[in-house]
Amino acid sequence: MLFHNAVFLFLFLPIVFILYFYTSKYSKFTYEYVLIIAGIFFYAWFNIYLSPLIIVSIIFNFIFGNLIRNSTQIIFKKKILFISIFFNILYLSFFKYSDFVIQNINYLFNSNIQMLNLPFPLAISFFTFQTIAYLVDCYDGNIKKTNLTQYSLFIIFFPQLIAGPIVRYNYMMNQFNDEKSRFINRKNLTLGLILILIGLFKKIVLANHLAILVDSGFENYQNLEFFGSWLTSLCFTFQIYFDFSGYLDIATGVALLFNIRLPQNFDSPYKATSIINFWRRWHITLSNFLMNYIYFPWVKSLKKINFFNAMMVTFFVFIICGIWHGPSWLFVIHGGWHGIGLIINHSFRKLFQFEINKYIGWFLTFNYVNLSLVFFRSDTLDNSISIIKGMSGLNGFNFPIFFEDKIYIIIILLISMLISFAFKNTKYLLENFRIENK
Amino acid sequence: MEDSKQEEVICKLKIIFEKLLDLKIENLDDLVFGKTKNWDSLKHLQIIINVEKEFSTKIKTSDVITLTSFNKIKDYILSN
């Protein structure tokens, strides 16, 4: 069930909303079960046979968390932490990367190992990271009290289950356990509905229309010249942003209906004036996770902490970031591309003392990101190279015929650009929204 | 007593920040990760390591990312 589905918006959500506040009124605890059952139902809607996988993950990690929390021996604690993180990465890798590994082994050694063709459990990438953050929190002694019900709710809370944002246990539970969350809040309700509408606009009006041109462009990539390839790549750059940020606006809005404030995941990323700045604005909870749980411990573990070593780690963290997005070398290239961008950005800052003009910085950053997304969207490397060649003018300048009935999408693209470059974002709305009390 | 401890922490932190970020501190409230010049992810980690050394403390993995300003680091040390 997706957020912009009528069944979700007009049936599932209102039923859960009514049940949640109705049960909250009569019992202190049942509200948790309403949300947990709703989460399982929401997950099972995609593929009922895969829902046991998330339940298995919840049970195992709850046990791991308890072992870590209750242990008094630091060595044992550390061991369990490593085993549990290893288990989670293996769990994710098995379903997500098995066939990718087999494919590469077959290619390298000319072998013929059969693919496993495993189904992909939805949301596994997100809940794996969220679970790792939970286990580290257990190790650090940040989680004083928990039980299976509360932990299940933390993982399976349906607004942020599928595509994040990646949240921390205490951040969520402090809100769930707040007595004030039990009552309908007029401000949150209004703001939540506004955010859902904004998200739906971003997704249905902007992203879904841009996708029509993008799909056609990438399908006919061999025939794309200068204008066609620029149009295709730009449309994708805005499609992916509005698709993802729209989805998260809806997630934030839906969570607000239940008085839960999710952390912001985007902060006008296309206004970024450097690649460093871009990663503080794009998929913020993911970059925070990568920085806190991979980059910092990795650099800290090095014998010598210097600029060169830190840059190497940055590069490899972004390779991990790339592969996390999916089992494809093109995602690895996308990650590596950003890793290199960050190294160039950091080196420039270190070597030259002057600040680059912000408009030039913005122009360079936007185009660097735009190019990286060509790899992200392409099916093959050949596909990416052909489009980049087209963008450079090497494939000529004749506007492609198959775009002629899609001229209206250029208007959608211009609107998308205007919103991304000039408008305030939903973070501003969340921070400044006021409602008059009658 | 409390005030003198706070003064001491601020003083020691100021030395670490000025040395690592290569700047002269004017206003403590202005020192924010990502906003203050030179305070990037690498410098952040160096600040954390130096703070751990200076105050003989261990900052938890899960807390490193939350200490995003001079004042937050100061409060963290004072409360631990």
pLDDT-derived band at A5 (thresholds 50, 70, 90) equals confident
**Whole-number pLDDT of residue A81:** 93
**Distance to chain A for B1, nearest Cα, Å:** 29
**B69 in helix, strand or coil?**
strand
pLDDT over 80 (residue A403): no
Token couple for A170 = 């205490």
User: What are the start-end ranges of the H helices in B1-80?
Assistant: 2-21, 41-54, 61-64, 70-79
Domain contains A243: yes
A144 in the same domain as A232: no
pLDDT over 70 (residue A71): yes
Q: Do A310 and B45 touch (CB under 8 A)?
A: yes
Mean pLDDT over residues A423-427, rounded? Answer: 85
Residue B31 burial (CB count, 10 A): 24
A413 in the same domain as A295: yes
pLDDT over 70 (residue A85): yes
Average pLDDT, chain A: 89
**Distance to chain A for B54, nearest Cα, Å:** 16
Measured CA to CA, the distance from residue A30 to residue A23 in angstroms comes to 6
Contact A161, A123 (CB under 8 A): yes
Q: Do B62 and A346 touch (CB under 8 A)?
A: no
Domain contains A1: no
Q: Do B61 and A291 touch (CB under 8 A)?
A: no
Burial classification of residue A257, based on how many CB atoms lie within 10 Å of its CB (0-12 exposed, 13-18 middle, 19 or more buried): buried
A283 in the same domain as A265: yes
* A280 contact residues in B (CB cutoff 8 A): 34
User: What are the start-end ranges of the H helices in A47-123?
Assistant: 51-70, 74-109
A325 in the same domain as A301: yes
**Whole-number pLDDT of residue B41:** 82
Among residues A182, A199, A230, which one ends one of the domains? A182
A420 in the same domain as A361: yes
pLDDT-derived band at A437 (thresholds 50, 70, 90) equals low
pLDDT over 80 (residue B3): no
A3-16 burial, b at 16+ Cβ within 10 Å, e below that, comes to bbeeebbeebbeeb
Total structural domains in chain A?
Answer: 2
**Whole-number pLDDT of residue A412:** 93
Domain contains A437: no
**More confident call, A206 vs A403:** A206
Instruction: Identify which of B42, B61, B65 has the shortest CB distance to residue A310.
Output: B42
Q: What is the pTM of this model?
A: 0.89
Q: Do B64 and A141 touch (CB under 8 A)?
A: no
**Distance to chain A for B4, nearest Cα, Å:** 29
Domain contains A283: yes
pLDDT-derived band at A396 (thresholds 50, 70, 90) equals confident
pLDDT-derived band at A436 (thresholds 50, 70, 90) equals low
**Whole-number pLDDT of residue A268:** 92
Query: For helices A408-422 and A226-257, what crossing angle results, to 10°?
Result: 60
**Whole-number pLDDT of residue A113:** 87
**Distance to chain B for A433, nearest Cα, Å:** 25
* Architecture, CATH, for domain B2-79: Orthogonal Bundle (1.10)
For tokens 């953050």, name the residue.
A133
Q: Which of A160-169, A235-244, A293-302, A341-350 has the highest mean pLDDT?
A: A235-244
**Whole-number pLDDT of residue A28:** 66
pLDDT over 90 (residue A257): yes
| CA A15 to chain CA mean position, Å | 27
Domain boundaries, chain B: 2-79
* B45 contact residues in A (CB cutoff 8 A): 296, 299-300, 305, 310
pLDDT over 90 (residue A67): yes
A220 in the same domain as A285: yes
A153 in the same domain as A291: no
**Taking Cα atoms as reference points, which of A412, A385, A351, A54 lies closest to residue A206?**
A412
Instruction: Identify which of A280, A292, A346 has the shortest CB distance to residue B61.
Output: A292
Average pLDDT, chain B: 85
A228 in the same domain as A124: no
A239 in the same domain as A154: no
A291 in the same domain as A376: yes
pLDDT-derived band at A234 (thresholds 50, 70, 90) equals very high
Q: Do A349 and B40 touch (CB under 8 A)?
A: yes
Q: Give me Rg for the CA atoms of chain B.
A: 12
pLDDT over 80 (residue B73): yes
Contact B61, A292 (CB under 8 A): yes
**Whole-number pLDDT of residue A227:** 87
Q: Do A296 and B45 touch (CB under 8 A)?
A: yes
Domain contains A293: yes
A174 in the same domain as A198: no
**Whole-number pLDDT of residue B1:** 56
**A264 in helix, strand or coil?**
coil
For tokens 């938890």, name the residue.
B60
Active-site amino acid positions of A:
325
Mean pLDDT over residues A255-268, rounded? Answer: 93
Element at A353 (helix H, strand E): none
Question: ipTM of this predicted complex?
Answer: 0.83
A385 in the same domain as A314: yes
**Whole-number pLDDT of residue A279:** 93
By mean pLDDT, which of A70-74, A121-125, A341-345, B71-75 is the weakest?
Answer: A121-125
Among residues A182, A202, A221, which one ends one of the domains? A182
Element at A225 (helix H, strand E): none
Instruction: Identify which of A133, A280, A297 has the shortest CB distance to residue B34.
Output: A280
pLDDT-derived band at A252 (thresholds 50, 70, 90) equals very high
Among residues A122, A156, A182, which one ends one of the domains? A182
B:46-75 residues touching chain A, CB 8 A cutoff: 46, 48-49, 60-65
Structural domain containing residue A301 = 189-432
Convert the pLDDT of each residue in B30-60 to its tens digit: 888 878 877 888 888 889 989 998 888 888 8
Q: Give me Rg for the CA atoms of chain A.
A: 23
